[in-house]
Amino acid sequence: MINAMPKQKTHSWLFRVGAMVAMCLTIALAPTADACNIPVFRYALERWKPDSCEVIVFYENELSPEQDALVDQLNACTSGQGGHANARLFRVNTDRNAKTDSSAKSDAANSDADSEHADLWSDLRQDSGVSLPHVLVRTKLGQGRFINHWNGSLVEATPSKLFQSPARTEIRSRLLAGHSVVWLLIRSGDREKSENAKKQAEETFKTLASKVQLPEGIGLPGSELYAEVPLVVKFSLLEIDADDPNEAFVSELLTGLRLSDYEAGEPLLVPVFGRGRALEVIPARDLSPRLMEELTMFLSGACSCQVKEQNPGFDLLIDADWDGQLFGDEENRPPDRSAEEGQNRNPVLVPIPAGRK
């Protein structure tokens, strides 16, 4: 497995997340000229399109008809090709002298001559036992950073393995049913620590629900809801074992992000909201009722920081027809505000009306 984290200065993950959440809370608490009063978790569910993972198929010269059919099966599952998995497939010919495949199967933006992806093969081939054709999956962590977290032979890279799993199906079902946040618990080899983490999370849920107050003004112009999913404050816990073969794709990503903690016996907790967006991967030893409350208040607060890229988190690879399940027909969907949100405008401060906090 390749587990290449982007190089960066050494900082505590808790400091990074705390700073990002504090920034977003500051923005949320400062009224803006066109503030949105929809909670972050609901705004993300209705409006934030999941980032696409990269599924890269490396091969040399050409694929056999059987291999080509396997690649077509993967490609057909991606959102750009009529499927619902938030992924883009790239075909990369490792023979740099070969002509670029100009067939209709190749996206113009996904040419075999993509030098960035071709360079990835130079690193991947160093692992023993790696042969062509081979598949690498990369997940976007935000701001142009990717982590390479799964690789295997083309035969191993089935749609059911890459795009589906029992845990991801359950996460999708709960979020579409109205759960505000689904806390994913990745159990470690330390049974006692895993049970303690589960107990602490479930006990904190009981107090959180009574503390959270949804923003006022939901349903007013600029804060309309479009889906019939109930707007409630509801949290749930979903457990998986990292050694469960059915969850290998997800567990390799999440344990890889906190590998030293997991190898030291720490269970990991991941708050998931919106359309499968993981806010952070938290080692159980750092979990506390206060931290859970701070993260929950951010996710339940007014979504003044509407630009997805400016918010913490990363999107899990999930096969889900979010728009179809939430809104049905096209006319029932929220208006496209991508051009407005892409302006990244600074907040305009206005006086706080009497009676508002």
Strands 53-59 and 134-142: antiparallel
d(CA 90, CA 145): 17
- Torsions phi, psi of 59, nearest 5? -155, 170
Q: What is the DSSP letter of 125?
A: T
Can you give the pLDDT at residue 174?
98
Contact by Cβ (8 Å): 168, 246: no
Domains and CATH numbers, the chain: 13-50+166-336 (3.40.30.10), 53-162 (3.40.30)
Return the residue matching tokens 């990292």: 242
Residue 55 three-state SS = strand
Q: Which spans in the chain are helix H? A: 13-29, 40-47, 65-76, 115-124, 159-162, 166-177, 191-211, 248-257, 259-263, 289-300, 322-327, 338-341
pLDDT in the model for residue 314 = 95
How far apart (Å, rounded) are the C-alpha atoms in residues 182 and 178?
A: 10
- Give the predicted TM-score (pTM) of the model: 0.83
For residues 303 and 290, give the distance between their C-alpha atoms in angstroms, rounded to a whole number. 21
For residues 212 and 337, what is the distance between their CA atoms, to the nearest angstrom? 28
What token pair was written down for 290?
């206060």
Dist CA 166 CA 87 (whole Å): 19
Mark residue 2 as left, alpha or beta (left: phi above 0; alpha: psi -120 to 50; beta: remaining): beta
In DSSP notation, 242-296 reads: TT-GGGHHHHHHHHHHTHHHHHTT--EEEEEETTTEE---EEGGG--HHHHHHHH
One digit per residue, the tens of pLDDT, for the chain of length 357 reads 444 443 333 334 454 455 445 544 444 444 443 558 899 999 999 999 999 999 999 999 999 999 999 999 999 999 999 999 999 999 999 886 554 443 335 443 444 446 778 789 888 888 777 889 999 999 999 777 899 989 999 999 999 999 999 999 999 999 999 999 999 999 999 999 999 999 999 999 999 988 998 999 998 888 899 999 999 999 999 999 999 999 999 999 999 999 999 999 999 999 999 999 999 999 999 999 999 999 999 999 887 655 676 778 999 999 999 999 999 877 778 876 554 453 343 443 433 334 433
| Of the candidates 133, 128, 141, 140, the residue with the CA atom closest to the CA atom of residue 157 | 133
Q: What is the spatial distance between Cα 234 and Cα 45, in angstroms, rounded to a whole number?
A: 14
Scan for tokens 């091969």, then name that residue: 59
Task: Determine how many CB atoms are found less than 10 A away from the CB of residue 347.
Answer: 16
Length of the chain: 357
CA-to-CA dists, residue 252 to 2, 283, 349, angstroms: 10, 15, 43
> How far apart are the C-alpha atoms of 299 and 17, rounded to whole Å?
13
Q: What is the SS3 assignment for 315?
A: strand
